[in-house]
Amino acid sequence: MTSETSLKSLDLTQLAQRLGQLCKQLGVEITAAESCTGGGIASMITSTAGSSAYFTTGYVTYSNAAKTRLLGVPNAILEAHGAVSEEVVKAMVLGACRDSGAGLGVAVSGVAGPDGGSAEKPVGTVWLAWGDMNSQQAACFHFPGDRQAVRELAVREALAGLLIRLAEREKISAKK
C-alpha cells in the first residue's frame, strides 16, 4: 500500500494516518523542518490522534537565521546555494534529526509565491529532503498553482516521501 502510485490516490488525512500506522508498527519517531510550508507538515501529522507516540518535534525555520540557529545549517551553505536548494534541505533534515533524536525526518524549503521567484528558482520551486543522521536524499519539485496549492502539494510530497522511506524500512525488517 505504499507504492508511489497507490499514495497518489490518498488524501492528506489518509497519508497522515498511514504514516502514523507505519511509525507505530516500526517504532520510528519522526521530525519535520519546514520553511515554505510554515508548519503544514507538522500540522498534518499531528492531526492524527496518537501522533505524540511518533512525532517528536517540528521546526518552522522561515528565516535563514533560524535555519542556522535552530538546525545548524552553515551560513556558508546558505550563502553559496540559497535557502531553496538541495544542500540546505539536506542540512535542515540532518539538523532536525540531530536535535530531536528522531529516526527519520523531512525538510522543505521553497518559493510558494506569489513573490520571491527568480529565473533560476521560479515560484513553485520546492526542495524536499528526507533522511536521518546517516543519510539524506533530496528532490526538487516544480509545483503549479497559487501559494496555497504549492504549499499543499509540498505537504503531500513530504508525507508521501516519509511513507516511501518507512515502507523501505518495513521491507528490510520483514526480511530479518
pLDDT in tens, the chain (176 residues): 455 667 878 899 999 999 999 999 999 999 999 999 999 999 999 999 999 999 999 999 999 999 999 999 999 999 999 999 999 999 999 999 999 999 999 999 999 999 998 989 999 999 999 999 999 999 999 999 999 999 999 999 999 999 999 999 888 888 87
Contact predicate 23/16, CB 8 Å: no
What is the reported pLDDT for 1?
A: 45
55: exposed, middle or buried (C-beta count within 10 Å: 0-12, 13-18, 19+)? Answer: buried
What is the reported pLDDT for 14?
A: 95
Contact predicate 16/106, CB 8 Å: no
What is the reported pLDDT for 2?
A: 55
User: Which long-range contacts link 70-76 to residues 24+ away (Cβ below 8 Å)?
Assistant: 70/95, 70/99, 71/33, 71/95, 71/96, 71/99, 72/98, 72/99
